[in-house]
A and B are shown apart, each in its own frame.
Chain A
Amino acid sequence: MKISLKWLSDYIDVPVDVKALCDRLDLTGTGVEGVETLGGAFDGVVVGYVEECEVHPDSDHMHVVKVNVGAEEPVQIVCGAPNIAAGIKLPVATIGAVLPGDFKIKKSKLRGVTSCGMCCSQRELGMGNNHDGIWILPDDAPVGMPIAEYLKMTDTVLDLEITPNRPDCLSVTGFAREVGAMYQLDWNNPLEAMAAKMELDENAAPVDSEVSVTIDDAKRCPRYTARIIRDCKIGPSPDWLVERLTAIGQRPINNIVDVTNYILFLFGQPLHAFDLDKLKNAEGKANVVVRAAYEGEKLVTLDGEERALTPDMTVIATPELGAVALAGVMGGLDTEVTDATTSILLEAATFEAGRTSRTSRNLGLISESSMRYERGVDDHGIELRSAAAAALMVEVAGGTVSYAEVNAEGIVDEWPVVSEPRSLSFRIDRFCAMMGADIPSDYITDVLVRLGCQVSAGEGDNVLSIVAPTFRPDLEREIDLYEEVLRLWGMDRIPSTLPGGRMRVGARSTEELVADKINATLRACGLNETMTYSFAEPSDIERLRMNVEGLAVELMNPLNADQSVMRQSIIPGLLRSVAYNQARGVRNVQLYEIGMVFSTAEGRKKPKERRKVAGVMAGAMNGAAWNQASVPFDFFDGKGVLESLARELALPKVRFKALSADEAPHLQPGRAAEMLAGGTVIGWVGEVHPLAADAFEASAPVVAFELDVAALVKSAQASRPYVDVPTFPAVSVDAAFVVSEDVTHEKMLQCMKSAGGKLLEDVQLFDVYRDEARVGAGKKSMAYALTYRAPDRTLTSEEVEKAHARLVQKVSAATGAELR
């Protein structure tokens, strides 16, 4: 909201230091978003003092004067005005000043005498018609002061952020009250004096004979008043009114509408002026109804837009015309005040806050009215604010205000819901304890009174009894009063402390600790953590060719179609990042992300959220270096990461099971595996199917994995059991088995482990070799290093030979292997 300090200063002494004022506003809860200085048009025009005045040597009517303009040296000016004289003060336009009409003041010579400026008349400054001579200013005008400042033409306009709990601050007078409380200054409320100026015309027809008001639903409209102003003449507003409104960025329209706006900004009371004659029916009566809009009802608002209304919205209507205004938001075009209008029906009302807010949001129509109604307009005092408006209308547009038969206010007044002022206690000791500071009770009382509360001694020691004003609907509870006092006392004055509570330890959950280990391991494996969107394209999963459980979670209001569902896998996002890097020439990409995936099902309210850890590896871990080859990533790099993870998390009984094309269509068949720990499925690893990679514009091969964090957390063991460090020597024996291609390493391992007995300590595969000539077609040679050891003695060579022979025999029998 914009506040003109000049306007504000009509009601309170505004602190001179604007910067300090803005800082104080910021700290007390009114954010200052901008400061604008008006009156710059008279830059360079200052108050001058004529020190010397001599006749021009070459002219009979001009004078040469030396004028002190507040600079070190007086300036010499040639002046033709008859009333120029030494010892007077006058406005001087110095060199560089621009006067109305784009008249630029330059150094010049008049009949051979240099003139460095101009002594100004009122008309030359555009401030009146007096051109008889220069404008002689009072003797106390300070020399050198900018004329705009001297004449109080300068204005500073603050753009303020009023928080939604402070409807009272959305007006000049409300803001004056706030500034008064901030600085403990008195202010002058003009409302009663302005209202008292209104005179009711006892001769015209009473308002209640021509206007009736019916409120259908009191909740929607707690109070509605209507008043008639007759015989006005619509025209432009006087200068002072135009100046007030333009200063705060409002466009003047006509005298009647301008008055409604003026009152809105002055008192925070939105008003609407209808053309009374347009509201009247054939019997000459305006029957105003405040009701819910009908489904499908339409209204052309003042801005010329046709609005489709819903029953959630409230309208002002007449039985004959239907909706004529959107309550609290905007008037209708058909009943607006025009140049031809002579009689006004002035609406001053209050409407339901939440509904106004919804209406204006749903229509994308935010007006000065709706902004105030959605925060709450006080139902008390509406008659006074309406009277002040009526008096001002008569002042600027002529006419008379009709009286009413039923009340002395001259209004039709429907007031079905009267708000009650709230009575609250203020326990000073509790307040000080909660703030952690001793704030004097005198201060508390003073500041609450200045905010409009009634304060008296309450029951008990150090307890105040407070009645909160109805214009502060936010003051509902004791705590709300605490906030008022604290913010005005100054949060900066509260000493900083740390809580000293008992029974407190800092901790992280098991899941977070496991997640930390996962993060640390993946980084140690060379993967870089990233983040991608939780949003996904609906086609992502299909393009990835992935089998997923459940339905995608659809957003009701996505930002765009590409992000209209929640992701069911992290992989599409990571593939996009692979493509992003590859498109920019970054070939080696190692990324991982830990994050949520989402799915739902018919009948579910909240979707299932599962935390996943996913990774992608494309290119190689590093480029070729002088001492290191660049080895392209393949399936086993991904699997190696998972093996490291299994080790770090101490996962028990980890195995990898080949996944078929049906089970994992998103992975390249033959290079896809499922990771299990005991019976728990942890996730999958594999090379992304070339078609799936291509669908996300990533160049294959891309090694990827996606694991379930909950499964990892469930399977992870805090530690492994201790095993004695061997003290007796081991014997290592190599054996190369030739087996057919379908015999897996896992199968070999199982056979060896079961055949090796207690003495077989370790099995390491060190070579896989294929050669049709030497090994045979469809066969491979698998070379293992077998370690034999007994924990309690040194093995003899006979023992080892016997155990090894048994192992070879059993493996051969079980797998058809031949020893090479």
Chain B
Amino acid sequence: MAITEELLGLREQTLAAIEAAETSAALEQVRVAVLGKAGSLTGYLRSMGQIPKEERAEVGKAVNEARVAVEEALAARKAVLDAAELEAAIDAAAVDVTLPGRAQQMGTRHLINRMIDEISEIFLGLGYTVATGPEVETDYYNFTALNAPADHPSRSMQDTFYVHDLSGDSSRVRGESDVLLRTQTSGVQVHVMEDQDLPIYIISPGKVYRRDVADPTHLPQFHQVEGLVIDEGITFGDLKGTLDYVCKQIFGPDRKTRFRAHFFPFTEPSAEADVSCGVCGGEGCRVCKGTGWIEILGCGMVDPNVLAMSGIDPEKYSGFAFGFGVERVACLKYNVPDLRMLLEGDMRFLRQF
């Protein structure tokens, strides 16, 4: 029974070698030496034919038992070694997580357009359409159709940029062309009133121009968001409710609004709206000049003349309009100290927003 004893010896020897293998590679060597093509146990399997018949069953059984035992031991040892190696690999791969990441640099939105997006989103939620129009207008769309008197000071060369009219039309006002850089986006509203079906619920954000020298609080080009609503049964209460909602959305739910009677040619009755000062909470401080309020927009019920000029029956329809300066709102929200920064393109400024 030398063969079975040999096998027993080989089995014990192999199991010991498996237990002793410290790495997957060493374990593999053991496996190859025993179970590989030229392995020792494989040799027994191959030589089964030479075993005498009567011993074959017994030897065969012993060989198989040895093989099963070795395979199980190999698998068990492999699991242990794999786990240890994975753990070692993980340990080795640990990084300093405070090192900077590998981010693709994203660009930024300009503060003013960010504000316009924010405001547009509020009005889209209220069911308004966003309308746009040209920056160069005729004085009809910028002034006349908005009920501005022919001699209104805002029409003067002091306040409004005029461009040369190459059509050969003579201008009506001495020394002035009737083509100009729009001073308000209200012209868009006139186009909408002329072209669109009622009811109208629009806002018109855009760039406007006024003849102010650039300084910390003025720019010759800035942005407005104007709005126009025309429908049956629109009330002054609707104007108040809408703008109160919008101001709270922009500045926060704690802020209050108030409406002061004012005068604009485009609206009647007209008002200016203030929001309560965010710095002092309405107590009065340097920012609000002690009043507790900060002027934010002009508004009013659309003047019947304006409706009539655009072919809308003022007896049937009423509406309201409003407009505010985006730069002003942005500066109030972000405390930008100098408006000119908005046009310099300084990366260190732009990348803050």
Q: Is B107 an interface residue (CB 8 A)?
A: yes
Best-buried of A497, A556, A578, A601 by chain B (most CB within 10 Å): A556
Residues B237 and A436 in contact, CB atoms below 8 Å apart: yes
> Which among B157, B235, B345 is the interface contact of A557 at CB below 8 angstroms?
B157
Question: Which chain A residues lie closer than 8 Å to B258 at the CB level?
Answer: 27, 492
Residues A487 and B346 in contact, CB atoms below 8 Å apart: no
Q: Is A526 an interface residue (CB 8 A)?
A: yes
Query: Which residues of chain B in 83-113 are interfacial with respect to chain A, using CB atoms and an 8 Å cutoff?
Result: 99-100, 102, 104-110, 112-113
Residues A504 and B127 in contact, CB atoms below 8 Å apart: yes
Q: CA of A600 to CA of B230 in the docked complex: distance in angstroms?
A: 35
A506-B126, A603-B167 known; A501 vs B232 contact (CB < 8 Å): yes
Question: Which chain B residues lie closer than 8 Å to A558 at the CB level?
Answer: 161
Q: Is A440 an interface residue (CB 8 A)?
A: no
Q: Is A408 an interface residue (CB 8 A)?
A: no
Residues A577 and B151 in contact, CB atoms below 8 Å apart: no
Best-buried of A499, A509, A530, A628 by chain B (most CB within 10 Å): A499
A492-B259, A504-B127 known; A555 vs B163 contact (CB < 8 Å): yes
Residues A504 and B199 in contact, CB atoms below 8 Å apart: yes
The minimal Cβ–Cβ distance linking B274 to chain A, given in whole angstroms, is 9
Residues A626 and B99 in contact, CB atoms below 8 Å apart: yes
Q: CA of A348 to CA of B292 in the docked complex: distance in angstroms?
A: 44
Q: Is B351 an interface residue (CB 8 A)?
A: yes
Residues B135 and A532 in contact, CB atoms below 8 Å apart: no
The minimal Cβ–Cβ distance linking B107 to chain A, given in whole angstroms, is 4
The minimal Cβ–Cβ distance linking B213 to chain A, given in whole angstroms, is 6
Residues B346 and A361 in contact, CB atoms below 8 Å apart: no
Question: Which chain A residues lie closer than 8 Å to B100 at the CB level?
Answer: 625-627
Residues A525 and B107 in contact, CB atoms below 8 Å apart: yes
The minimal Cβ–Cβ distance linking B126 to chain A, given in whole angstroms, is 7
Q: CA of A573 to CA of B151 in the docked complex: distance in angstroms?
A: 35
Question: Which chain A residues lie closer than 8 Å to B343 at the CB level?
Answer: 531-533
Question: Which chain B residues lie closer than 8 Å to A530 at the CB level?
Answer: 110, 345, 350
Residues A491 and B260 in contact, CB atoms below 8 Å apart: yes
Residues A498 and B241 in contact, CB atoms below 8 Å apart: yes
Q: Is A621 an interface residue (CB 8 A)?
A: yes
Question: Which chain A residues lie closer than 8 Å to B244 at the CB level?
Answer: 496
Interface flags for B330-352 (1: CB within 8 Å of A; 0: not) read 00000000000011111110110
Question: Which chain A residues lie closer than 8 Å to B261 at the CB level?
Answer: 27-29, 483, 486-487, 491
Q: How large is the interface on B (under 10, 10 to 19, 20 to 34, 35 or more residues)?
A: 35 or more
CB nearest to A23 among chain B residues:
B291
A166-B263, A509-B130, A556-B162 known; A524 vs B106 contact (CB < 8 Å): yes
Question: Which chain A residues lie closer than 8 Å to B245 at the CB level?
Answer: 498
The minimal Cβ–Cβ distance linking A421 to chain B, given in whole angstroms, is 20
Query: Which of the segments A78-86, A132-140, A580-588, A795-803 contacts the partner chain?
Result: A580-588
Residues A577 and B344 in contact, CB atoms below 8 Å apart: yes
Query: Which residues of chain B in 137-178 are interfacial with respect to chain A, using CB atoms and an 8 Å cutoff?
Result: 137-138, 149-151, 153, 156-158, 161-169, 174, 176-177
CB nearest to B114 among chain A residues:
A529
Residues B174 and A523 in contact, CB atoms below 8 Å apart: no
Q: Is A609 an interface residue (CB 8 A)?
A: yes
Interface flags for B198-238 (1: CB within 8 Å of A; 0: not) read 01010000010101010000001100000001011111111
Residues B211 and A559 in contact, CB atoms below 8 Å apart: yes
Interface flags for B269-309 (1: CB within 8 Å of A; 0: not) read 11100000000000000000001000000000101100000
Q: CA of A625 to CA of B350 in the docked complex: distance in angstroms?
A: 22
The minimal Cβ–Cβ distance linking A354 to chain B, given in whole angstroms, is 3
The minimal Cβ–Cβ distance linking A166 to chain B, given in whole angstroms, is 7
The minimal Cβ–Cβ distance linking A569 to chain B, given in whole angstroms, is 15
Interface flags for A466-490 (1: CB within 8 Å of B; 0: not) read 0000000000010110110011000
Q: Is A437 an interface residue (CB 8 A)?
A: yes
Q: CA of A355 to CA of B151 in the docked complex: distance in angstroms?
A: 8
Q: Is A553 an interface residue (CB 8 A)?
A: yes
Best-buried of B138, B213, B271 by chain A (most CB within 10 Å): B271
A483-B269, A559-B220 known; A526 vs B104 contact (CB < 8 Å): yes
Q: CA of A456 to CA of B66 in the docked complex: distance in angstroms?
A: 123
Q: Is A704 an interface residue (CB 8 A)?
A: no
Query: Which of the segments A194-202, A215-223, A589-597, A763-771 contacts the partner chain?
Result: A589-597
CB nearest to B305 among chain A residues:
A477
Question: Which chain B residues lie closer than 8 Å to A584 at the CB level?
Answer: 346, 348
Residues B179 and A354 in contact, CB atoms below 8 Å apart: no
Q: Is B44 an interface residue (CB 8 A)?
A: no
Residues B113 and A529 in contact, CB atoms below 8 Å apart: yes
Q: Is B240 an interface residue (CB 8 A)?
A: yes
Question: Which chain A residues lie closer than 8 Å to B157 at the CB level?
Answer: 556-557
Best-buried of A495, A497, A532, A622 by chain B (most CB within 10 Å): A497
Residues A529 and B350 in contact, CB atoms below 8 Å apart: yes
CB nearest to B303 among chain A residues:
A479
Query: Which residues of chain A in 160-174 are interfacial with respect to chain B, using CB atoms and an 8 Å cutoff?
Result: 163-166
Q: CA of A626 to CA of B176 in the docked complex: distance in angstroms?
A: 62
> Which among A435, A506, A528 is the interface contact of B128 at CB below 8 angstroms?
A506
Q: CA of A605 to CA of B167 in the docked complex: distance in angstroms?
A: 5
Interface flags for A547-576 (1: CB within 8 Å of B; 0: not) read 000010111111100010010000001101
Q: Is B185 an interface residue (CB 8 A)?
A: no
A435-B235, A499-B238, A625-B100 known; A605 vs B107 contact (CB < 8 Å): no
Q: CA of A358 to CA of B174 in the docked complex: distance in angstroms?
A: 11
The minimal Cβ–Cβ distance linking B330 to chain A, given in whole angstroms, is 12
Question: Which chain B residues lie closer than 8 Å to A434 at the CB level?
Answer: 235-236, 301, 318
CB nearest to A608 among chain B residues:
B136
Residues A607 and B107 in contact, CB atoms below 8 Å apart: no
A163-B263, A486-B269 known; A621 vs B130 contact (CB < 8 Å): no
The minimal Cβ–Cβ distance linking B160 to chain A, given in whole angstroms, is 8
Q: CA of A523 to CA of B342 in the docked complex: distance in angstroms?
A: 18
Q: CA of A166 to CA of B270 in the docked complex: distance in angstroms?
A: 13
Question: Which chain B residues lie closer than 8 Å to A436 at the CB level?
Answer: 235-238
> Which among B107, B166, B167 is the interface contact of A526 at CB below 8 angstroms?
B107
Residues B107 and A522 in contact, CB atoms below 8 Å apart: yes
> Which among B127, B132, B262, B301 is the interface contact of A163 at CB below 8 angstroms?
B262
Interface flags for A498-527 (1: CB within 8 Å of B; 0: not) read 111111111111011000000100111111
A29-B260, A499-B238, A605-B165 known; A534 vs B346 contact (CB < 8 Å): no
Residues B350 and A494 in contact, CB atoms below 8 Å apart: no
Question: Which chain A residues lie closer than 8 Å to B104 at the CB level?
Answer: 526
Residues A498 and B242 in contact, CB atoms below 8 Å apart: yes
Residues B138 and A606 in contact, CB atoms below 8 Å apart: yes
Question: Which chain B residues lie closer than 8 Å to A563 at the CB level?
Answer: 220
Residues A509 and B110 in contact, CB atoms below 8 Å apart: no
Q: Is B36 an interface residue (CB 8 A)?
A: no
Q: Is B251 an interface residue (CB 8 A)?
A: no
Q: Is A734 an interface residue (CB 8 A)?
A: no
Residues A491 and B199 in contact, CB atoms below 8 Å apart: no
Q: Is A684 an interface residue (CB 8 A)?
A: no
Q: CA of A313 to CA of B153 in the docked complex: distance in angstroms?
A: 16
A528-B347, A557-B211 known; A483 vs B270 contact (CB < 8 Å): yes
The minimal Cβ–Cβ distance linking A481 to chain B, given in whole angstroms, is 10
Residues A29 and B166 in contact, CB atoms below 8 Å apart: no
CB nearest to B177 among chain A residues:
A556
Q: Is A663 an interface residue (CB 8 A)?
A: no
Residues B151 and A627 in contact, CB atoms below 8 Å apart: no
Residues B263 and A628 in contact, CB atoms below 8 Å apart: no
CB nearest to B161 among chain A residues:
A555
Seed contacts A533-B343, A534-B135; 15 additional CB < 8 Å A-B pairs: A26-B260, A26-B291, A479-B301, A494-B236, A497-B235, A505-B127, A508-B129, A527-B107, A531-B112, A532-B343, A556-B177, A557-B161, A604-B167, A605-B169, A627-B102
Mind listing 23 A-B residue pairs with CB under 8 Å? A27-B260, A29-B261, A163-B263, A354-B149, A436-B238, A487-B261, A487-B269, A491-B261, A496-B237, A497-B238, A501-B233, A504-B199, A506-B126, A511-B132, A519-B113, A526-B107, A533-B221, A559-B220, A581-B345, A584-B346, A602-B166, A607-B179, A609-B135
| 8 nearest A-B residue pairs (beta carbon) | A577-B345, A436-B237, A436-B235, A487-B261, A354-B151, A29-B261, A483-B269, A163-B263
